[in-house]
Amino acid sequence: MTVKYDKINTNLFILNRDKLCKELKNNSLAIFHSNDEMSRNGDCFFPFRQNSDLFYLSGVDQEHTILIVFPDCPDPAYREVLFVRKTNEHIKIWEGHKYTKKETTEISGIKSVFWIENFDSIFKMLVNWTGNIYVNENDRANSDVDSRDLRFTKKIKEQFAAHNLERAGPILTKLRALKSEIEIDLIKHACSITEKTFRRVLGFIKPNVWEYEIEAEITHEFIRNRANGHAYTPIVASGSNACCLHYINNNTQCKKGELILMDFGAEYANYASDLTRTVPVSGSFSPRQKEVYQAVLRVMKAATQLLVVGNVLDSYHKKVGVLMEKELIKLGLLKATDVKKQDPLQPLYKRYFMHGTSHFMGLDVHDVGNRRETFKSGMVFTCEPGIYIKEENLGIRIENDYLITENGPIDLMANIPIEVDEIEALMNV
């Protein structure tokens, strides 16, 4: 076994490939590469993280892997093909076990498995039987980053100029946005690990503890529960640090009377969870801290009721903005007269709530999804309003993860303490 997590039901990957095949043009071949190993320094590498699209379609969680999907191939043996790294005694000694062909088939459900050195000859044979090649260029914000997929695309543009190239990205964005039951169960498991972790740190936090000590507690609980690790770099921000949205230094001592904002989530079987809680270092909220916390919580509860089939992110965020305006007026941070006269393109609430409320979540914590598409049953979103008051050294954000269904949103973190009273009770046991 090469991973910490339990074996995933192979049907997930079989069904995902079937969905992909239905979206491809006739007589098309689609190809997906694993991520690169990223050099850290010298002869060391960062921990490997599989390309999410390749994992979604195969379940193979190993470097030097290529998947070909060719549903109309005249030879049925090549309609689904996986290429994996061939091991040897040197690799076994220095790196450990690599997937055998049998293990690769058991994980993916793909019977045709070859060693990676056979790729060129087989690909050249298959490409002569097709007119369309779907390549997996990165359509997201970091698309300028070099990758195996991108390098391969450049190569075949030169070698197979007569073929028609298509983009696999839009198809995978559409498919991955809708989670199957198996995927939802994996996300729920990631959320359950995150719940255990939050309950653990509530009993650990006290005045004069350091942010990095809290981060260590989080990491410890993740790993002991067989998580891959963190779904993203954790934020442990006490006092004024909480007003920096992506504060990740986690190197300040937590002082009595401050709040501490913690944004972390376990990743299990490559599926993310995403939690934020803001709690009092001393175990009790001050009246002002409680007032602002309750305002954020009211916005969150109202916002989650908008995570329904048929809504759209842009209009959803505008409605949440109106909810936040009302709370900021009550808190004395905005004046109703100023809000009435504000530029609608630059609403005043963004002085204190400057980020979006929700994002897609799945194999990536900021998962793929079409912002202009209506919400559908099976989509998973975060909900994370916040209020950040620099002049008061006060930053509060609360976040849970939600599954959209035909019967309304389901809170995947419903068991994680969120109310002021329950947080204070658990911190003062």
The domain that holds 167 is classified in CATH as 3.40.350.10
Which of 175, 194, 211 is at the close of a domain? 175
Say if residue 171 is in the same domain as residue 219: no
pLDDT at 401 over 70: yes
| Rounded mean pLDDT, 266-291 | 98
* Residue 216 within a domain: yes
Q: How many residues does the chain have?
A: 429
Say if residue 108 is in the same domain as residue 209: no
| Of the candidates 109, 275, 104, 57, the residue with the CA atom closest to the CA atom of residue 187 | 275
pLDDT digits (tens, 9 = 90+) for 202-251: 999 999 999 999 999 999 999 999 999 999 999 999 999 999 999 999 99
The CA dihedral of 403, 406, 407, 411, to the nearest 10 degrees, is 0
Q: Structural domain of residue 57, as residue ranges?
A: 11-175
Say if residue 267 is in the same domain as residue 144: no
Which of 175, 209, 231 is at the close of a domain? 175
Q: Are strands 28-33 and 132-135 parallel, antiparallel or unpaired?
A: parallel
Say if residue 154 is in the same domain as residue 293: no
Instruction: Give the list of residues 6+ apart from residue 110 with CB closer than 8 angstroms, or none.
Output: 58, 67, 80, 81, 82, 104
* Residue 5 within a domain: no
Say if residue 304 is in the same domain as residue 342: yes
pLDDT digits (tens, 9 = 90+) for 245-267: 999 999 999 999 999 999 999 99
pLDDT digits (tens, 9 = 90+) for 169-199: 999 999 999 999 999 999 999 999 999 999 9
Residue 2 banded pLDDT, cuts 50, 70, 90: confident
* Residue 143 within a domain: yes
d(CA 293, CA 422): 13
* Residue 298 within a domain: yes
pLDDT score, position 155: 84
pTM: 0.95
Say if residue 376 is in the same domain as residue 335: yes
Say if residue 27 is in the same domain as residue 151: yes
* Residue 3 within a domain: no
Residue 141 banded pLDDT, cuts 50, 70, 90: very low
Say if residue 302 is in the same domain as residue 198: yes
Average pLDDT, the chain: 94
Which of 121, 142, 175 is at the close of a domain? 175
Please state the domain count of the chain.
2
Higher pLDDT, 156 or 427: 427
Buried b (16+ CB within 10 A) or exposed e, 214-225: bbebbbebbeeb
Say if residue 225 is in the same domain as residue 240: yes
d(CA 319, CA 425): 33
pLDDT score, position 286: 98
* Residue 2 within a domain: no
Say if residue 161 is in the same domain as residue 194: no
Instruction: Give the list of residues 6+ apart from residue 251 with CB closer than 8 angstroms, or none.
Output: 210, 211, 212
pLDDT at 1 over 60: no
Say if residue 141 is in the same domain as residue 212: no
User: CATH number for the domain including 373?
Assistant: 3.90.230.10
Name the percent of the chain in helix, strand, coil, to the closest 5. Answer: 40, 20, 45
* Residue 331 within a domain: yes
| Rounded mean pLDDT, 73-91 | 93
Say if residue 273 is in the same domain as residue 389: yes
pLDDT digits (tens, 9 = 90+) for 88-136: 888 888 888 889 999 999 999 999 999 999 999 999 999 999 989 999 9
* Residue 1 within a domain: no
pLDDT score, position 45: 86
